[in-house]
Chain A
């Protein structure tokens, strides 16, 4: 029997019972569509998060005080358990390293702002003039901190958008004086709305020169140092140099942790990929159910078509031909279901994107292909048993059934 004839016969057999075939294709397509839509959701979440992180600036190397990993037991750990602080001098030293474009020291504390008779909690951020470029943020009004000596603290403040709105409303805050903690500071600029990153919104920030912040908090330590490398390729080298420099400055002790934006990104990427896979796995259960349905329907079909199978054998069909006919039918049903399901899945993802335009819910190619592959394999696997049963049917018994 020719392959094309096998396909034609199987197709006719399937279309000969439209209701059964339709229901089966529907079951299979729902399974595949579930895989496609859910992976689109998972992968969309991954892209969304990665996109958000990239917005912070992906050339960043971040220095935090203290080691975040242990290197086994070392007697020295017992004695020098307290890490040395990061200081402004450390930050200045890093700026001189080759491959470093800019740095921004960061000191953070909660404080309150008091102006025009209003009092509000806010986040105080001490940094330098380069911060705005390192973090790729924008000003709505006025200017940012001036580029002066790190140690010199002017009594100036840049307001976050939300703080400005709540304290000053629509009036121009530039040049006004606000009271932050126990200091009086002059407003020199306002940040644009919507800056994100490091787990907080920049709308709630009060940005002051780092020396001012240190004086206000009576401290000379830094919370973080942000280092921007000249290019993405240099991140690795810059990271190594930063670590070496700080270690040198801290009397040979490696008491800081240096992380890169890339590493953070990769971690998130990994977590969300696993999430997507998990979701795809759950959706794959519905595919397995559809596969069992294919088997069930094909078994019923074999029983219903007993006489036909007996006839085919009497007309000279080999067992192999009969087996092929039923296998091909099972596979045709599964694959048609999968193709319909992929179309439905893409439609579903498009609707999702229409509803949430910021959410990039595109089904990943691997999910589409594996959905198709799983359907094909389940058609083959679950088609085997009914096909074998058909091939083994005794033609005499089959034909004597009236």
Chain B
């Protein structure tokens, strides 16, 4: 499976946390290869290490042992500021609780990654306007998060995660705080992005959601139990 074209290559990843005297092996010898454009669901019970895996891929965490290559480049040894740059340009995060900045409007929240990347005002306004249009948030642009519905909030969050056109979209329980109908809406939106070629990695408890992915990774106690790739189910 390991080939030079893989987007993400994890080799022998170990991650241990220390809680007081006890050690928690969040990840044990994890090896993964993820190709561009894949749609992956990471599943498993709480504490199985799936969130740690996601944080590690998102460069929010470092492995104790092992190497992580993103687009053929070893990113485990990068300096924190270089990792921040990779996060800014190649990785988009979506969270269960949206994590929108409450005092900023929808448009300003979407603009945030562009501001942090130091983009010029003209370019920013263009990109934000486009994102608002793509996600159907035009009439909600100046609303604050508390004036938006759950589905709208998650759409703002997705717009924010994708406004930099990242290579990987990491979603941690993206539907966890949404009802079934809006959850379905959000999932379809993510799948549409995947269909456009964006690699999508979703961490979830929800088996129904997990089953829609083309590749399912099951984890328990920091170990990858199974890694099944299936052909997309034909609709109907």
Contacts and interface: CB of A to CB of B under 8 A. Distances in A.
Contacts of B160: 315
Contacts of B95: 399
A13 interface: yes
A321 B116 contact: yes
A316 B81 CA distance: 9
Q: How large is the interface on B (under 10, 10 to 19, 20 to 34, 35 or more residues)?
A: 20 to 34
A316 B60 contact: no
B112 A313 contact: no
A318 B115 contact: no
Contact of B116 (A317, A395, A402): A317
A316 B89 contact: yes
Interface in A1-38: 1-2, 5, 9, 12-13, 16
Interface in A384-402: 395-396, 399-400, 402
Contacts of B97: 402
B93 A318 contact: no
Contact of A1 (B51, B87, B104, B115): B115
A395 B60 contact: yes
Contacts of A315: 87-88, 93, 112-113, 116, 160
A319 interface: yes
Interface in B93-129: 93, 95-97, 99, 101-104, 112-113, 115-118
Nearest to B166: A316
Interface in A349-402: 395-396, 399-400, 402
Given A316-B89, A318-B81, A5 B115 contact: yes
B152 interface: no
Most chain-B CB neighbours within 10 Å: which of A1, A2, A315?
A315
Contacts of A132: none
A155 interface: no
A289 to B, nearest CB: 28
Interface stretch (A208-216, A272-280, A304-312, A329-337): A304-312
A319 B81 contact: yes
A313 B117 contact: no
Contacts of B84: 313, 316-319
A1 B116 contact: yes
A396 B99 CA distance: 13
Interface residues of A, number: 26
A13 B103 contact: yes
A307 B113 contact: no
A320 interface: yes
B101 A316 contact: no
B93 A319 contact: no
Contacts of A285: none
A97 interface: no
A314 interface: yes
B85 interface: yes
A314 B97 CA distance: 14
B80 A307 contact: no
B115 A314 contact: no
A321 B88 CA distance: 13
B103 A316 contact: no
Contacts of A311: 99, 101
B174 interface: no
Interface in B123-147: none
Most chain-A CB neighbours within 10 Å: which of B61, B80, B115?
B115
Contacts of B118: 1-2, 5
B44 interface: no
A316 B99 CA distance: 15
A12 B80 CA distance: 27
Interface in B32-63: 51, 55, 58, 60-61
Given A312-B116, A313-B84, A402-B97, 15 more contacts: A1-B115, A1-B118, A9-B115, A16-B102, A308-B101, A312-B112, A314-B99, A315-B88, A316-B113, A316-B117, A318-B84, A321-B116, A396-B55, A396-B60, A402-B96
28 contacts: A1-B116, A1-B117, A5-B118, A16-B102, A312-B112, A312-B116, A313-B60, A313-B84, A314-B60, A314-B93, A314-B99, A315-B88, A315-B113, A315-B160, A316-B84, A316-B87, A316-B89, A316-B116, A316-B117, A316-B164, A317-B84, A317-B88, A318-B81, A319-B80, A320-B81, A396-B61, A399-B95, A399-B99
Interface of B: 51, 55, 58, 60-61, 80-81, 84-85, 87-89, 93, 95-97, 99, 101-104, 112-113, 115-118, 160, 164
